[in-house]
Amino acid sequence: MTQGHHITIKQGIERVRVVHGDRVLAESSRPLVLRETGCPVRYYIPEGDVRMELLTASETHSYCPFKGTASYWSLPEAPDLVWAYPDPKPEVAGIKGHLCFYDTEVVE
């Protein structure tokens, strides 16, 4: 990481859930908790705990100099609702195979 910019990833113990409208999109008791300088805490949820059948891959990609290139998925009424880093930088390799949503609720 560059001076003054830090990312930490820890195994979470909280149970998290993502709900959009009346649909539960993800629920997990094994999220990764990512803390990054200047950003809100993010929960990265294992792909196996995400209802991928409800999501459609997006054409959108973005680049983070600290994490790498992100891919996005959407709902028909919510574009680019979730993202992941399929090939993250080595410093954050632990987030591979995990997805992150803008609004994740901690339920325990």
Q: Is the pLDDT of residue 10 over 90?
A: yes
Phi, psi of 47 (to 5 degrees): -55, -35
Q: What is the pLDDT of residue 108?
A: 65
pLDDT in tens, 55-101: 999 999 999 999 999 999 999 999 999 999 999 999 999 999 999 99
Is the CATH code 3.40.30.10 the one for domain 7-106?
no
Phi, psi of 105 (to 5 degrees): -100, 130
Query: CA 27 to CA 45: how far, in whole Å?
Result: 8
Domain ranges of the chain: 7-106
